Chains A and B, each alone.
Chain A
Amino acid sequence: MRTTRAVAWKEIQVFFTNPMAYIVALIFLGVTGFFFTLDLGDPFPEASLSNFYQGATIILILLAPALTMRLLAEEQKLGTIELLLTSPVRDWEIILGKYLAAFGFLFVMIALTTYFPLLLFWFAEPDPGPIYSGYIGLILYGSAALSIGILTSTLTSNQIIAFVVAAGILLLMFFIDTRVDAVTGIWATLLSEIGMRSHFNDFERGIIDTKHVVYFLSITALFLFFSIRALESRRWR
């Protein structure tokens, strides 16, 4: 566990000394701020965060992979992976440490947006339920997105490839339920169950359904598991 913490702490430090992470945070705050204010021109604006949540989930399709793309690809590029894999550290400790660092940064980034709901509470009387549940959903969704980015970063030494592939997978998984009409039977069920957006929507409406929580946690666990396997496979190639 100490090694996991060391890996996580080292990566957190890199995040906070690296312009990339600040750029990601800046874009995240800018874009979500823009979505938050979309309703303001409306004669009867709604005191809710649903636009913010829409914007945040979509922009994370790009930003989550941008946070994770470096994590393992760079180690492979620099050759430091050779030291990491010849140290007495288990593969899961490496992956978990990297994931925790990315999750920590994402958490801080999301926490920085809490002035939106504070503004709402200041100027209006929003329904608090959807606000809390929406944040829980956002964190769960972000966690799943990061784990996908970790996997692609494990698979290549090229950060750009890691980024593009992760963003592509995320984009597909996010919107795939919109094609549910095109198929029937089991395929339709499958598509609607895989789709991230459909699982997120309930959080935004103020519902915390165990099914959706389990979905996002499973995606996270599954992709982290694949990442560990992918890292292991480096030893066998």
Chain B
Amino acid sequence: MTSLPTEETMIQATGLTHFYGPQPAIEDVNFSVKRGEILGFLGPNGAGKTTTMRILTGFMPPTEGKVTLGGYDVVDQSLDVRKLVGYLPETVPLYTEMPVTNYLKYMGTLRRMNSKDINRRITEVIELCRLNDYSKTIIGKLSKGYRQRVGIAQAILHEPEVLVMDEPTIGIDPIQVVETRRLIQDLGKQQTVVLSSHILPEVSMVCERVLIIHQGRIVAEDTPDNLAQRLQGVEQLEIEIGGPPREVTSVLSKIDGVVDVNHRHAADKEIYSVKAKEGLDLRDEISRAVVSNGWSLLSMQLTSMSLEDIFLRLTTEEEQIS
């Protein structure tokens, strides 16, 4: 093991890769979560959020890489990990023919709680998730929002140390969304929470730290505030230049306002990614510098893989309460 998790570390993931067929769903995902932290995975649909959650909860193993949860390995000590975790999958899995309390009792027994604790906790979670009027109702007759609450109730029933929630507010009405977020924040005071979302304001509101995941890779990690700042701060250009790479790089770096230059050689092309400061438009300066050195400027464009673009694909607007 390269890095021993400190006492504070609850989840430690290193080099997670998972393939469904030839395409990786996630690739080389690394992150750690401290005890008592609320971590959000933010990414557009299909980014690999659900895959990551499923690996965390031991539902399926990563093709490569390793996760420890509370010091236990998710693959080798799966049973110990599963005792620590409460999980709300994306499609809330409910036995629709069962009444709410029976369902919770069943889930409690599967979590190896004793019957005294089960009864005590059922009363508590029903109160917490505001299911009081529906405790005897058959789950199949509940509306989507209430089913979601039952899903959350089963996830927190056994007071798990780690709570994993995949899109906890998807498909429920705006008032319930607000309530659910408040509930998650409350839970986050005692427990470690990992949740996923494709809604930007949601993670900003609820989470202390955000991982942005795109096409199976983590592309940014920061607090919600810092992410918002970084987003405004930097412009990135992808430029193809015909000329000796080393000199080109040094000339580009000297231009006023350039923060970083990265050179790569791809498909017989010399590509330079240039990061500029504070929303500066350096296209004019760059093209003049290239031409005055006698090199050829073959193409120049704002890069397509910026955080900004990923953010644009996310839902940035909240549904209005109508």
List the interface of chain A (C-beta within 8 A of B): 2-3, 6-7, 10, 14, 17-18, 78-90, 234-237
Counting CB contacts under 8 A, is B295 at the interface?
no
* A236 touching B61, Cβ below 8 Å: yes
CB-based contact A2/B154 at 8 Å: no
Q: How far is the CB of A44 from chain B (nearest CB, A)?
A: 51
Q: Name the residue on B nearest A236 (C-beta).
A: B61
> What DSSP secondary structure best describes chain B's contact surface?
loop
Min CB–CB distance A131 → chain B (angstroms): 38
List the A side residues contacting B98 at CB < 8 Å.
10
Q: Could you give, for residues 70-89 of chain B, a 1 whenever the CB lies within 8 Å of some chain A CB and a 0 otherwise?
A: 00000000011011010101
- Asked if B83 and A85 sit within 8 Å, CB to CB, the answer is no
Please report B residues at the A interface, Cβ cutoff 8 Å.
Answer: 54, 57-61, 79-80, 82-83, 85, 87, 89, 91, 93-98, 106-107, 109-112, 154
Shortest B100–chain A CB gap in Å is: 14
> Please, how many angstroms separate the alpha-carbon atoms of A90 and B82 in the complex?
11
Contact A6 B93 (CB under 8 A): no
Candidates B80, B93, B96, B109; contact of A83 at CB < 8 Å: B93
Min C-beta distance of A198 to chain B, whole Å:
41
Q: How far is the CA of A6 from the CA of B109 in the complex (A)?
A: 7
Q: How far is the CA of A57 from the CA of B75 in the complex (A)?
A: 43
> 17 extra interchain contacts, Cβ-Cβ under 8 A, other than A80-B93, A87-B107, A88-B83?
A2-B112, A3-B109, A3-B112, A6-B106, A10-B98, A78-B93, A79-B91, A81-B93, A82-B54, A83-B87, A83-B107, A83-B154, A85-B58, A86-B57, A86-B58, A87-B111, A88-B79
Q: Is the CB of A90 within 8 A of B79?
A: yes
Q: How far is the CA of A55 from the CA of B106 in the complex (A)?
A: 38
Whether the pair B60, A84 counts as a contact (CB closer than 8 A) is no
A154 to chain B: closest CB distance in Å?
16
Q: By the criterion CB–CB under 8 Å, are B97 and A14 in contact?
A: yes
Other-chain residue from A17, A89, A236 in contact with B97 (beta carbon distance below 8 A): A17
Listed by A's residue number, 25 A-B pairs whose Cβ atoms lie within 8 Å are A2-B109, A3-B109, A6-B110, A78-B93, A79-B89, A79-B91, A80-B95, A81-B93, A82-B59, A82-B89, A83-B89, A83-B154, A85-B58, A86-B57, A87-B82, A87-B111, A88-B79, A88-B82, A88-B83, A88-B110, A89-B110, A234-B60, A235-B59, A236-B61, A237-B60
CA distance A80 to B106 in the complex (A): 12
- CB-defined contacts of B80 to chain A, threshold 8 Å: 88
Q: Which residue of B lies closest to A82 (CB)?
A: B89
* Nearest CB of A to B77, in Å: 11
Residues of B within 8 A of A10 (CB): 95, 98, 106
Q: Please determine whether B93 and A79 come into contact, CB atoms closer than 8 angstroms.
A: yes
Q: Return chain A residues, CB-CB under 8 Å to B83.
A: 88
**Shortest distance from the beta carbon of A145 to any chain B beta carbon, whole Å:** 25
In whole angstroms, what is the CA distance A121 to B93 when docked? 52
What is the bound-complex CA distance between A10 and B98, given in angstroms? 9
Chain B residues contacting A2 (CB-CB under 8 Å) are 109, 112
* Across-interface contacts of B111 in A (CB, < 8 A): 87-88
User: B58 near A80 (CB under 8 angstroms)?
Assistant: no
CA distance A235 to B79 in the complex (A): 13
Q: How far is the CA of A89 from the CA of B58 in the complex (A)?
A: 12
Closest residue of chain A to B108, judged by CB? A6
In the bound complex, CA of A86 to CA of B98 (Å)? 20
Q: In the complex, what residue of chain B is closest to A94 when comparing beta carbons?
A: B110
With A80-B95, A82-B59, A236-B61 as contacts: A87 and B110 at CB distance below 8 Å: yes
Which residue of chain A is the closest to B85 with respect to CB atoms?
Answer: A86
- Nearest-neighbour CB distance to chain A for B57, whole angstroms, equals 4
- Which of A2, A14, A84, A87: most chain B CB closer than 10 A? A87
